[in-house]
Structure 1
């Protein structure tokens, strides 16, 4: 798809039931005009995770939410905005109890929001957050100075140091999508889990038959993946369950929680529309760092890749599923 002329502003098409949502075709036209869809797709398979997070740091640390969470909130109709952003962390807490000496490892902790949240509420549990980015670790450590039960360390989840020891729970929130191969990572996780311990994963996955979804939705998914630095694409649904089982972990839950992402994705889409339709933001897209600017693309299409492009959004029509996966290491 070739970029359209920059001075041609498409007439907004909105889904009547949700007036803040542009139709997918209109969203793609805006993206093509501002960025060029083919230019973004050309980055497929490239490695630029480091550059993406370095450039996006201002957005995550000051703009996205006040807690510096780097993931989607999960709304169930009863939670406040803060509770929704920490819904994934609440699931981790459910796998802990009152026993002293418990240890928890977070993979890809970002700016440390989830481990900080849990460490404040569970002072009898020791938490360790790991992240590939030194800047993330430094900022997280600065926020954790008054929490004796929390530490951070720069490390890749694909090469976890042996001296980390074992943990009662290991979790990753929208981070294991960056794994080259789930198999070796699942084996590393199993090695660092204590018997009876749990691994908790929240992430997006491509649904079965992904290539057979409508072309615009496949394109939108690839745009979403690349502009969130998952340039090799999300793993196929079921791949992590297979990897955990092969690592001799018992999968105890594999739940589609996509519907709970809807409110957050609507909000992101609404924010992103301004970047493409308001002159000052359109001008800003031309001068701010490339990968930071491309977050506007992810914001615009994220809703559609999960809910399709119908008047009444339907989870089954989106090519992406957002899942909670839990696995347990047997005690014997």
Structure 2
């Protein structure tokens, strides 16, 4: 798509003829890119490739996660299978972790990159005899999550400021370690996999949910590659998502047995469709377009991620197709050999 095409499409805030005819409203990818270019400048966003804005992104986005996205302050996508309520969909990833637990005393669970603590809070309430530890790099996240645990009288849950690339030795070992849409920030997968293996008890499991670039990523249509880079950067994954298969390799090299590597992109469709529909308001309604100009930079750019997230997973056809998107959302589980 040329710059002239983008300008022509963006001159009118009404949808172009290539609307994907689903409810709620879905813009075609070309129209979405045109609106993004007009409001933010695609080249300006893609040029923002450093890691130094991750902290700013989460600080600026905190009001959105706290008040706008969902009432539980989950900082990840919901997973729908057609039978779940909204709450069940947001805690579907936590439900997978729960499948590796029972209520035996002495079990321990570690969450990597816990954000505002929603998943550990949910699990700690459900399993009162299991000890949970949540770690995150942001002091504000750890403090807020800790305050919630205290308010909920969850004595089996604690939070610590820590990087998953430098896990403190005194954390000890765990029966389960999980990360939900956070290990995309890892720069050294082999190191993180070794640390996870070190902190797993024999027979313990690591559970990972995240987005990955498909093989042959650069060969996808140019607009989809551009949309993916926009999605990555505006969700603060500055270096881009890891390639599909790299975590399986890292876990295997660390001595873990990969038991599951499942494409569950289809389950993200309802959530991504809703986000896309909400994001359209920011680009076509005058009051929201004006608001984007005064919002903090990284908070405002969440509208970009909302607009293109559907396309990077399902392509740009009337019928969504996971084979057409350059991104796959995966559930990966590995086990440490032993008891």
Q: State the TM-score, normalized to the length of structure 2.
A: 0.95
Count of residues in correspondence between the two structures: 332
Aligned partners of 2:103 and 2:128 also within 8 Å: no
DSSP-derived class of the 2:323 partner: helix
Q: Residue 318 of structure 1 is aligned with which of 322, 325, 329?
A: 325
Change (3 A) 1:5 1:40: farther
Q: Which residue of 1 aligns with 2:285?
A: 278
Q: Which residue of 1 aligns with 2:196?
A: 189
Aligned partners of 2:24 and 2:277 also within 8 Å: no
Aligned partners of 1:47 and 1:231 also within 8 Å: no
1:43 equivalent in alignment to 2:48: yes
Q: Which residue of 2 aligns with 1:166?
A: 173
1:224 equivalent in alignment to 2:231: yes
Separation of aligned partners in 2, 1:312 and 1:8: 27
Q: Which residue of 2 aligns with 1:104?
A: 109
Deviations 1:214-273 (A, max 9, x none): 000000000000000001000000000000000000000000000000000000001100
1:309 equivalent in alignment to 2:312: no
Separation of aligned partners in 1, 2:56 and 2:131: 31
Query: Which runs of structure 2 are paired with 1:108-257 in the superposition (5 Å)?
Result: 108-145=113-150, 146-257=153-264
1:4 Cα deviation from its structure 2 partner: 4.2
1:19 Cα deviation from its structure 2 partner: 5.0
Aligned partners of 1:10 and 1:26 also within 8 Å: no
Pairwise CA RMSD: 1.5
Query: Which runs of structure 2 are paired with 1:283-294 in the superposition (5 Å)?
Result: 283-294=290-301
Q: Which runs of 5+ in 1 are unaligned?
A: none
For structure 1, which segment, 245-254 or 15-24, has the greater mean C-alpha deviation from structure 2 after superposition?
A: 15-24
For structure 1, which segment, 3-12 or 268-277, has the greater mean C-alpha deviation from structure 2 after superposition?
A: 3-12
DSSP-derived class of the 1:230 partner: coil
Aligned partners of 2:24 and 2:273 also within 8 Å: no
Separation of aligned partners in 2, 1:18 and 1:99: 46
Separation of aligned partners in 2, 1:273 and 1:62: 19
Separation of aligned partners in 2, 1:141 and 1:131: 11
Aligned partners of 1:5 and 1:33 also within 8 Å: no
Change (3 A) 1:19 1:116: closer
Q: Which residue of 1 aligns with 2:39?
A: 34
Aligned partners of 2:207 and 2:331 also within 8 Å: yes
Aligned partners of 2:258 and 2:332 also within 8 Å: yes
